[in-house]
Amino acid sequence: MNHTLGPRLLHLSSFYTHEQEIWDIGCDHGYLGLSFLCLETVSSVYLVDPSKKVIDQLINKLKDSYITIPNKIKVLNQKGQYLEISKNIKKIIFIAGMGGKEIIDILDHMKPQLSVEDSVIISPHKNILELRKYLLESEFRLKDESVISESGRFYQVLCLSLFSGHPKVSAFGEKLWSGSLGNSYRDYILSTFSSHQDQLSMEFVHYLRHLSY
């Protein structure tokens, strides 16, 4: 299962800061979580996916792979909304490749299980405005945010924490729109969201049209 991470997964992995446990929720092929196996600071890698077919394929690939430390790997066929995670150990949790509404459900469920030492990295592929509105009103705080481009698509990436010393998540993002990639992302959003007539989308478009860099 030796695999080079693409730009998006590589960017997600860059948020790692010596956490002991890796949780890859909605892991699919498992490449992101498995990329941390060689790190001595990592004690366990949890690969979680609700699809039994995905998990069965992953288990079969792991049996025939180069991996020599399988005791580090925990494979779970489970929805993130029902997951019980470890306590009293520093964790980084990746939730990517799913819609914002599903991520909201997972965050709601996981929040009581998290400590201020944990980091949650999310990258939704839809319902981004609804997700950001939820985060703005929640206890989650923003450690960092960025935008990444892969295969002609843009993805927001947010690094979250429950540590109150970090700022609140903004409704539309503040660090996403600068630089050449930010400008391209802004143009893309304006071309797609301008046709939406709901109040939140119209406020988003108004915000982007009046940005100045």
Write down the mean pLDDT value for the chain: 92
Residue 186: give the domain boundaries.
Answer: 177-213
Query: Are both 37 and 142 inside the same structural domain?
Result: yes
In Å, how far from its chain's centre is CA 43?
A: 21
Residue with the larger pLDDT of the pair 193 and 7: 7
pLDDT score of 145: 97
Domains: count for the chain: 2
The answer on 204 and 101 residing in a single domain is: no
With 90 as the cut, is the pLDDT of residue 197 above it? no
Pairwise CA distance, residues 19 & 91, whole Å: 5
Residue 60 counted as domain residue: yes
Residues 115 and 50 in one domain: yes
90 & 122 share domain: yes
Question: What are residue 23's DSSP bridge partners?
Answer: 46, 93
User: What is the pLDDT at residue 1?
Assistant: 46
**H or E element that contains 207:** helix 199-209
Do 185 and 167 have their domain in common? no
Look at the pTM and tell me if it is higher than 0.85: yes
Look at residue 67 in the predicted model and tell me its pLDDT.
67
Contact 34, 1 (CB under 8 A): yes
**What's the pLDDT band for 3 if we cut at 50, 70, 90?**
low
Looking at residues 125-135, what average pLDDT do you find?
A: 96
The pLDDT assigned to 61 comes to 86
Residues 125 and 21 in one domain: yes
2 pLDDT band, cuts 50/70/90, is very low
Q: Is residue 2 part of a domain?
A: no
CATH code assigned at 105: 3.40.50.150
Residue 212 has a pLDDT of 67
37 with 117, same domain: the answer is: yes
Q: Are 155 and 213 contained in the same domain?
A: no
Q: Is the dihedral of CA 134, 136, 137, 141 positive or negative?
A: positive
> Does residue 189 lie in a domain region?
yes
Taking residues 22-32, what's their average pLDDT?
95
Q: Between 178 and 13, name the one with better pLDDT.
A: 13
Model pLDDT for residues 141-173, shown as the tens digit of each residue: 999 999 999 999 999 999 999 999 999 999 999
Same domain for 166 and 109? yes
Q: Is 115 domain-assigned?
A: yes
Structure confidence at residue 35 (pLDDT): 93
How many angstroms separate the CA atoms of 90 and 111, rounded?
A: 14
Q: pLDDT, tens digit, for every residue of 59-92?
A: 988 887 766 566 899 999 999 999 999 888 999 9
Q: Does 1 map to a domain? A: no
